Structure 1
Amino acid sequence: MLIALAHPLIQQGTRRKLRQRWSRQLLALLGIELHATGEPLQPGCMIVANHISWLDIFVVNALAPSAFVSKAEVRNWPLAGWLAEKNETVFLRRGSRGHAKIINAEIGTLLDAGGTVAIFPEGTTSDGSHVLHFHAALLQPAIESGHPVQPVAISYHTPDGARSRAPAYDGDISLGQCLAHIVAEPRLVARLHANTPLDTRDTRRRELAEAARVWIIQSIDDRERPDNERTNEVPVCG
């Protein structure tokens, strides 16, 4: 109730800082250490990431508070829907071309204002061992508004570098089961590796989506290498 009353009084910049702080605190509470490599996440970019877990949102927000594109049904979820709405979430009603135009304009406005917008173009989650097909239409707002697309690879590992399936929120796994799997691990490492932003001028969305997908696949494969063969990673403090 206190959050509901105070939220309208908090400026947008402060909300984003709070979101970043809460995200880092949640990861720390769950025993997840965040390591970031590659390029810094750039304001005014559309982040394009692979999707493994509900944790992905907090991993991204811990580095760059972002507006996420979500399916419209989430708006009606108890509490989660309200929190999503109050945190710049853009709700997409699938299958409606008219609504897609409105959403594209809304995302373009956020990018024009220097905000960061994040999408998961797979449209669903995987177990992290592979990257699904990208829905190229989700990248259209960046092309229309002339803002770069920044590919981001997310993966989860045990302290010894082995890939962990514990955070995976796919198939028939419930949120409760996923959380139990995470808590059962004494420590996990979330790795986020970001590419240089891709220019969206004079490009087709399918080509752009495939370029981002190929880079993410290659980056995840690199993350699977032993620690002594990978680029040094920088832990992100809470």
Structure 2
Amino acid sequence: MIGNARIVLAVFFVVLVTIVLLPIHLLLLALRHPWRTRLPKYWHRAALWAIGIKVVTHGRIDSRRPLLVAANHVSWLDILVLASVADVTYVAKSEVRDWPVFGFLAKLQRSIFVVREQRQRTQDQADEIAERLGAGEIVVLFPEGTTSDGNRLGLIKSSLFAAATSAATHSAGKCVHVQPVAIAYTRIQGMPMGHYHRPIAAWPGDVELMPHLLGVLREGAIDAEVSFGEAIDVTPGSNRKEISARAERQIRLMLEDRLRGREH
């Protein structure tokens, strides 16, 4: 009964905040005002508060531009968590565009939708990412290409880092900064989450979206920890496999530290 009441209250609050902020956001988008990339941060913070997600950060987002963030991917919650701490836009697979609720939100956040199966479009998609980076936007890439169980880092796809070298070619300083970021869900109701409870937050691809969403709303009180690594400088001549390997090492170490409760 309490869980159902939590769901109703959380949905009511998020809908109320959306009704207030959506017209303002649409106006900012129409005017191409700089705040069109900043306002979503406050919506995401409100949504996380309603859901019961507490975000703890370790380090900070790099202040240099162009900046591409490479993060591990655990759940749909990652979108809310990262967007609550930085003004970001996402690289998302094309299917996300048609998802209920999240597809609409992704469009409002001006996500870059990519069709990974069509290799002939790879360069066009990399160019769009480069254009956004060149305009000063922080673009988030999930190089695993899919979500995980939250207990380990999946296989990193080095091909997705081609956008960084493409952007470096077009940037004024011939350099793009790639910052590795690790997202970990570590506590629930104040207690360490552990392998057994982590599926409450983690959303592997074989789990339906709406039941998982309702489960998170019913539970609440989840701690999410975001660790910012050391940015990697990428130039037009950089090797994407080397970039991928360096980013993977940092993400893996930061994720392990958070899951094991280690501090640095």
TM-score class, shorter: 0.7 to 0.9
Q: 1:9 aligns with which of 2, 27, 33?
A: 27
Measure the CA separation in 2 of the matches of 1:5 and 1:30: 23
Alpha-carbon spacing, 1:46–1:53, altered in 2? closer, same or farther (3 Å): same
Partner AA of 1:44 in structure 2:
P
Alpha-carbon spacing, 1:188–1:200, altered in 2? closer, same or farther (3 Å): same
The aligned counterpart of 1:60 is 82
Partner AA of 1:94 in structure 2:
R
Greater than 6 Å deviation, 4+ residue runs: 1-5
Measure the CA separation in 1 of the matches of 2:263 and 2:136: 32
Alpha-carbon spacing, 1:41–1:61, altered in 2? closer, same or farther (3 Å): farther
> Where do 5+ consecutive residues of structure 2 fail to align?
1-17, 169-175
Q: Is the 8 A contact 1:51 1:126 kept in 2?
A: yes
Confirm or deny that 1:133 pairs with 2:162: no
Alpha-carbon spacing, 1:183–1:82, altered in 2? closer, same or farther (3 Å): closer
Confirm or deny that 1:35 pairs with 2:68: no
The aligned counterpart of 2:43 is 22
Measured on the aligned residues, the alpha-carbon RMSD in Å equals: 2.2
Structure of larger gyration radius = 2
Q: Is the 8 A contact 1:39 1:196 kept in 2?
A: no
Q: 1:166 aligns with which of 200, 204, 225?
A: 200
Q: Is the 8 A contact 1:41 1:64 kept in 2?
A: no
Q: CA deviation at 1:88?
A: 1.5
The aligned counterpart of 1:200 is 234
The aligned counterpart of 1:75 is 97
Which range moves more in the overlay, 24-33 or 39-48? Answer: 39-48
TM-score between the two structures when normalised by the length of structure 2: 0.79
Task: Give aligned-pair identity as a percent.
Answer: 31
Measure the CA separation in 1 of the matches of 2:42 and 2:205: 30
Measure the CA separation in 2 of the matches of 1:77 and 1:160: 32
Q: 1:209 aligns with which of 233, 238, 244?
A: 244
The aligned counterpart of 1:235 is none
User: Secondary structure at 2:232's aligned position in 1?
Assistant: coil
Alpha-carbon spacing, 1:5–1:19, altered in 2? closer, same or farther (3 Å): closer
Q: Hey, which of these two has a bigger chunk of helix by percent?
A: 2
Q: Could you give the per-residue CA deviations for residues 183-231 of structure 1, whole angstroms, max 9, x where no partner exists?
A: 34351111000112101124211111121112111111111234xx424
Q: Could you give the per-residue CA deviations for residues 112-170 of structure 1, whole angstroms, max 9, x where no partner exists?
A: 11110001111111111111111111111111222111000000011334443311111
